Structure 1
Amino acid sequence: MIKELRTTELTASAHSLSKVRASEKHPVPSDASYFDYGRPGLIYNLRLPKALRFLDSDYCAGGRQAMLDGEARSQIDRWFPFLFLHVFAGLALFYRPSLTAIWVMVGLYFVRMFAITAFYHRYFSHRTFKTSRLCQFLFAFWGGLSVQRGALWWASHHRNHHRNSDTELDIHSPVKRGFIWSHIGWITAECNMPTRYEVISDLVKFPELVFLNRFDWLPPICLAALLYFTGCMLDIYCPIAGTSGVELLLWGFFVSTVVLFHGVCSINSLSHIWGGKRYETGDESRNNFFLALLTLGEGWHNNHHRFPGSVKQGFFKGEIDITYGILKMMQWCHLVSDFRPVPQEAYDQEQFINKDLSRG
């Protein structure tokens, strides 16, 4: 009997020791300043020294839940990043841009706009197509170049927007809070800073995406450094380009980023104010031809709010959707697959509250 008890005690001790060792290897976070991912691994359990925690976008100094439960109001200190971008974009006016700088500025606008519309929006937010894990990571990094935070943060808030569109719970409704709030103000509210991991369980299981989301400043820094370095090299080895490191940094990064930011934000604000409505959606989402051109197809917002699961947002002739066209080419190259189509219901005229099929 004594021998059996000792054996039981030894087994229990060994089991407890293994649990301790496991917890040492994969510590369970208890800090209220972070989301409890509930997963093992370095990326999920990494905690920077206090002096460096400002580099971690998942760190919530006042407590994560306290931030989420906070009042939805703009805070002055949250405006500094936007002021920083706009001030440096303004400095570009003192540098007459070369043709090279203009091409880089325009090119990076559209390349990064596509990353937002195709990847952040149609892939990460709505899962309207499939891709490989490697491409998924590259798409998240590509979107991160846009300086619109990480793919997981973007997707989590966008999913909440669709659940509560133009209600009191909508984080950026111009109908409820006005144009300025829906365009930029909501981003400066502390309650909207944390990533709502609870609504993106399908994405949080990928540690590489969590890493990019936590350190979302890495892609923009890489882009800015690359532009400056490229400009310096062109200035030295290809003077015919007529550009420099400072010029490419100001025009290619800052000006392009500011214009891109307002282009994307116009969908949150103007697309719920300006345009026509084809479908009854229970909100004020609108179709707008001009915004569709500006955002490579996102302007068909009423279409999208009625059928958010469709990879294509321009449903009818004349509804230009450049993002969808590029995704089709990527499909031919086997980079993406399994497109979720426009449902046949979308073409049932009994659905329409506006018969103007070209403009919605």
Structure 2
Amino acid sequence: MLFVILFFVLHWYLSLFSQTFFLHRYAAHKSFTMSKGWERFFFLFTWFTQGSSYLSARAYGILHRVHHAYTDTELDPHSPSYDKNLLAMMWRTKNIYTGILYETSPVEERFTKNVPAWKKFDLFASSWPSRVLWIAVYVALYLLFAPSAWFLLLVPIHAVMGPLHGVIINWYAHKYGHVNYETDNTSKNLFKVDWLMFGEGYHNNHHTFPSRSNFAAKKGEFDPCYPFIVLLNKLGVIKISNSLQPA
């Protein structure tokens, strides 16, 4: 039972770390820089931690830049303001993301500048054999260690972990929560202390300061990802731009 709980929690937060640290703050916003070698390492790390729900840093970065440019308009790839329900938004986002991933949809050049790319690996990690392999791993782990077959009901959550994290923010953080800063969009902060979404829940803060490496902004807020960013900066893995560091 302990193993099952630990596995689920680790997958939740490691997947979140890959999304918020590598896909979001690095790929989309360039809140810090890293060498090509470390970039390739985090491509692999994202595949390992997101597994069957692997998201391409290039496609995610472009998609998210479009979101910031067109927030809450008909050109926003995911907006509760223009989708009837959560599933409709997820489906539209999936189709736009797929078009970017496989380069079948036109993309404005301004959204592609300095986005990390590793095309061959993205195609492998996004392939059905890779996704099915990871789902088989999840099933095997539950069959081996779960006290009951009922725990297999958690496998679908593991299978879509990356998009699930995205939809929590893209839907709920544009509908519910509180506002620290008045903006021209519906972005909100879901929590005072973001224990669930590893800093992603400070969505209103992020839309106000999109390139900052620390998503917490007010007294009492804490971004759990930021200490890891500070540590990796001190270790020389990444370099935070002084102009983007919080005051």
Distance in 1 of aligned mates of 2:163 and 2:97: 17
- 1:212 counterpart letter in structure 2: F
**In the TM superposition, what are the counterparts of 1:83-162 in structure 2 within 5 Å?**
98-144=1-47, 145-146=49-50, 147-162=53-68
- 1:194 counterpart letter in structure 2: G
**In the TM superposition, what are the counterparts of 1:304-343 in structure 2 within 5 Å?**
304-339=206-241, 341-342=244-245
Q: Deviations over 1:114-158 (max 9, x none)?
A: 100111000001010111212111212322342143111111111
Whether the aligned pair in 2 keeps the contact of 1:122 and 1:311 (CA below 8 Å) is: yes
- After TM superposition, give the deviation of residue 215 of structure 1 in Å: 2.8
- 2:6 counterpart letter in structure 1: W
- 1:119 counterpart letter in structure 2: F
Instruction: Provide the residue aligned with 1:180 in structure 2.
Output: 86
- After TM superposition, give the deviation of residue 176 of structure 1 in Å: 2.4
Whether the aligned pair in 1 keeps the contact of 2:216 and 2:223 (CA below 8 Å) is: yes
Q: 1:102 to 1:299 in 2, by over 3 A?
A: same
TM-score by length of 2: 0.79
Distance in 2 of aligned mates of 1:107 and 1:276: 28
Q: Give the greater-gyration-radius structure (CA).
A: 1
Distance in 2 of aligned mates of 1:143 and 1:277: 31
Q: For 1:337, what is the secondary structure of its paired residue?
A: strand
TM-score by length of 1: 0.57
Unaligned runs of 5+ in 2: 101-106
Mapped pair 1:272 → 2:174: yes
RMSD: 3.1
Q: For 2:19, what is the secondary structure of its paired residue?
A: helix
Q: 1:259 to 1:215 in 2, by over 3 A?
A: closer
Instruction: Provide the residue aligned with 1:287 in structure 2.
Output: 189
- After TM superposition, give the deviation of residue 106 of structure 1 in Å: 1.3
**In the TM superposition, what are the counterparts of 1:253-264 in structure 2 within 5 Å?**
254-258=156-160, 261-264=163-166
Instruction: Count how many residue pairs are aligned between Structure 1 and Structure 2.
Output: 233
Q: Deviations over 1:233-281 (max 9, x none)?
A: xx6xxxxxx459x97x957854334455423311101111111222232
Q: Which of the numbers 103, 121, 129 marks the counterpart of 1:212?
A: 121
- List, as ranges, runs of 4+ consecutive aligned residues in structure 1 with deviation greater than 6 Å: 228-232
**In the TM superposition, what are the counterparts of 1:160-175 in structure 2 within 5 Å?**
160-175=66-81
Unaligned runs of 5+ in 1: 1-97, 236-241, 345-360
Q: Deviations over 1:32-74 (max 9, x none)?
A: xxxxxxxxxxxxxxxxxxxxxxxxxxxxxxxxxxxxxxxxxxx
Q: Deviations over 1:199-233 (max 9, x none)?
A: 223236x5xx122223332664564465567779x
Distance in 2 of aligned mates of 1:304 and 1:99: 35
Distance in 2 of aligned mates of 1:331 and 1:225: 36
Q: For 2:115, what is the secondary structure of its paired residue?
A: helix
Identity percentage over the alignment? Answer: 25
Instruction: Provide the residue aligned with 2:115 in structure 1.
Output: 203
Instruction: Provide the residue aligned with 2:103 in structure 1.
Output: none
- 2:80 counterpart letter in structure 1: P
